[in-house]
């Protein structure tokens, strides 16, 4: 991955074959990015994507080989007590075939298929996650 610092964050270019979440996590640790917001475009493969099922209080994921065009990816970087940076990402992915069928949801894992261009903006206020008993999710506490 290559990175350039911009006024209020970083512009990152991931290389083919890089594992998205560990690579971004290492970058955040090395550059002391504790809280942020990001958007990305590019291409991914070997993705795990899904949704949160409230009645079962569990995520439901499916694996897809791809490759996929990243039609949209949004996410944030936050902290949770005693953990590495928490990367939360959602994506809309388009199949690279004549159907251009899209899938979307919560992204759990992905590998860069060709490239991924990501703009990461610093957030100056703490984004701290904590357990929400009503939903079972680790939500950002905005009262910190």
Q: Which pLDDT tens digit goes with each residue over 26-45?
A: 999 999 999 999 999 999 99
**Of 3.10.180.10, 3.30.1330.80, 2.60.40.10, 1.25.60.10, which CATH number belongs to 2-141?**
3.30.1330.80
The closest of 6, 25, 17, 5 to 116, measured between CA atoms, is: 17
CA distance 37 to 141: 16
DSSP-derived secondary structure letter, 60: E
Q: Are 105 and 83 in contact (CB under 8 A)?
A: no
Please report, for the chain, the start and end positions of each structural domain, with discontinuous segments joined by +.
2-141
Q: What is the pTM of this model?
A: 0.94
Question: What is the per-residue pLDDT across 94-111, written as a single tens digit (0 to 9) for each?
Answer: 999 999 999 999 999 999
Q: Is 28 in contact with 86 (CB distance < 8 Å)? A: no
């Amino acid at each position: 991955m290559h990175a350039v610092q911009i006024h209020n964050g970083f512009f990152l270019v991931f290389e083919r074959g890089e594992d998205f979440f560990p690579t971004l996590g290492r970058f955040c640790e090395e550059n002391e990015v504790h809280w942020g917001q990001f958007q990305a475009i590019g291409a991914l493969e070997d993705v795990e994507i899904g949704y949160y099922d409230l009645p079962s209080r569990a995520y439901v994921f499916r694996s897809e080989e791809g490759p996929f065009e990243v039609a949209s990816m949004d996410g944030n970087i936050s902290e949770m007590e005693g953990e590495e940076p928490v990367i939360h990402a959602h994506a809309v992915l388009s199949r690279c075939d004549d159907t251009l069928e899209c899938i979307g949801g919560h992204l759990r894992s992905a590998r860069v298929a060709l490239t991924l261009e990501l703009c990461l903006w610093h957030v100056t206020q703490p984004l701290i996650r904590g357990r929400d008993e009503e939903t079972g999710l680790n939500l950002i506490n905005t009262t910190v």
